[in-house]
Amino acid sequence: MNFSSNWWRAPVYFTVSVLLAFLAISTALRSLPKDEPLPTKSIAAPLFLEASVALRRSGFSIMASLLQITPEIFISSSHSTIFAIPDSSIANASHTLWLLKHLFQYHTSPLQLSMNDLLKKDKGSCFPTLLRGKNLAITNIDAKERVVEINHVLVSHPDIFLEGPLTIHGVLGPFTSMDPLYIGQGWDHIQAPICDSNLSLVSEVIDTKKVVEWTHIIRLLSSKGYISFAIGLNFVLDGILEEQRRFSSVTVFAPPEFSFVASPLALLDKIVRFHILPRKFTYTELASLPANVSLRTLVPHHDLEMSWGVNMTHKLIINGAKIVAPNIFLSKKFVVHGISQAFQLAHLPNTSR
């Protein structure tokens, strides 16, 4: 007998649905005034059933089950637009129940927004969600091609359901990171764009994963004895995060002693950036480069020069400093090398950026 390759997902779907149903119902019951009778069966139940069937037909089985079992998560006003998250993005989620509930509320707007309504909006316009204070933003739109991206996520299945007060679209992925690592670091668990009072986009979300990796790097450097450089890096991290929008990977050279940490902030920022390359180079990749090659840093017009050591040491030397601890941190987009001493700028830059 042949079984579908996704047979194992069934218990996962059922477990997620039942747990979230319990959470939503419990929350709803706790929010009722003590003298208010419990709600009877919703007159909108047939609507939710039809919407659930439409979602399931389009491949959004988890969202279909949730809408049918616990519509309270998604419905809190006279109109609702739901952006259905793919099953693959939810099945292995390790969030706590309240985080998952917030995630689904962030994918629901109290406005009725068909695909035609979305296409009439301007790029950079925002609209509210059921999660208070958290908006969504139109980040790309092409009316001719009928393409809309929200928080840089494509609306892949427009108008799955259009009936009465309920509109449902399918999206290619979640509108916010589902990586639980940063929650323990104290970062807001739903990373939303910043919009002004006129619901216009002011600032997009900084990639939370990058924030987490930088935080991990700073802690790792401190634990391995690169304390003064870790302090300096932490001081100027906000500017580097903003800069990192323009490149996808990073190489950091960390010295054990970093006397510049007491410098004025603008100068400290320049010198820390002089120890960072806007591209990832593992030790092996550096070793494969030709001698005396220039390496571009985050300081314009101030490159590093690489050479090989002499007297049989055969160590890579960058601007006179040996790489003594290669690849002390290595991930998909980051690498950190320990060096023997801080790099010296031939001509210290002025304090203006």
Helix (H, G, I), strand (E, B) or coil at 202: strand
**How high is the pLDDT of residue 102?**
86
**pLDDT score, position 352:** 40
Please provide residue 57's backbone torsions phi and psi, each rounded to the nearest 5 degrees.
Answer: -65, -30
Average pLDDT over every residue of 197-218 = 72
pLDDT tens, residue by residue, 15-42:
455 445 545 444 444 443 444 333 334 4
User: Torsion angle of alpha carbons 109, 114, 119, 121, nearest 10°?
Assistant: -40
Count of CB atoms situated within 10 Å of the CB of 185: 12
State yes or no: pLDDT of 85 exceeds 90: yes
Report which of 269, 272, 283, 273 is spatially closest to residue 335, judged by C-alpha positions: 283
- Other C-beta atoms lying within 10 Å of the C-beta of residue 172: 14
Band (340; pLDDT cuts 50, 70, 90) = very high
Q: Name the token pair of 201.
A: 């986009």
Ramachandran bin of 124, using left for φ above 0, alpha for ψ from -120 to 50, beta for the remaining angles: left
Amino acid at the residue 168: I
Tell me the CA distances in angstroms from 348 to 2, 11, 252, 340, one per residue in order: 70, 62, 20, 20
Cα 82 to Cα 55, 138, 169, 232, 287, distances in angstroms: 11, 15, 6, 44, 52
Pairing of strands 334-339, 250-254: parallel
pLDDT for 210 equals: 61
- Residue 331 pLDDT class (50, 70, 90 cuts): confident
pLDDT of residue 36: 37
User: Under 8 Å CB-to-CB from 129, ≥6 apart: which residues?
Assistant: 105, 106, 107, 108, 109, 110, 135, 136
Q: What per-residue confidence (pLDDT) applies to 245?
A: 65
**75 Cβ partners below 8 Å, 6+ apart?**
44, 166
pLDDT at 180 over 70: no
- CA-closest candidate to residue 283, choices 238, 239, 322: 322
Instruction: List the single range of 95-99, 144-148, 159-163, 302-306 with lowest mean pLDDT.
Output: 95-99
Amino acid at 35: D
With a pLDDT cut of 90, the percent of the chain lying above it is: 43
Give the pLDDT confidence score for residue 189 in this predicted structure: 65
Q: What is the mean pLDDT of residues 250-261?
A: 92
Lowest mean pLDDT across 292-296, 297-301, 331-335, 347-351: 347-351
Across the beta sheet with 108-109, what order do the strands follow? 108-109, 80-84, 166-170, 157-163
Number of C-beta neighbours around residue 170 at 10 A:
22
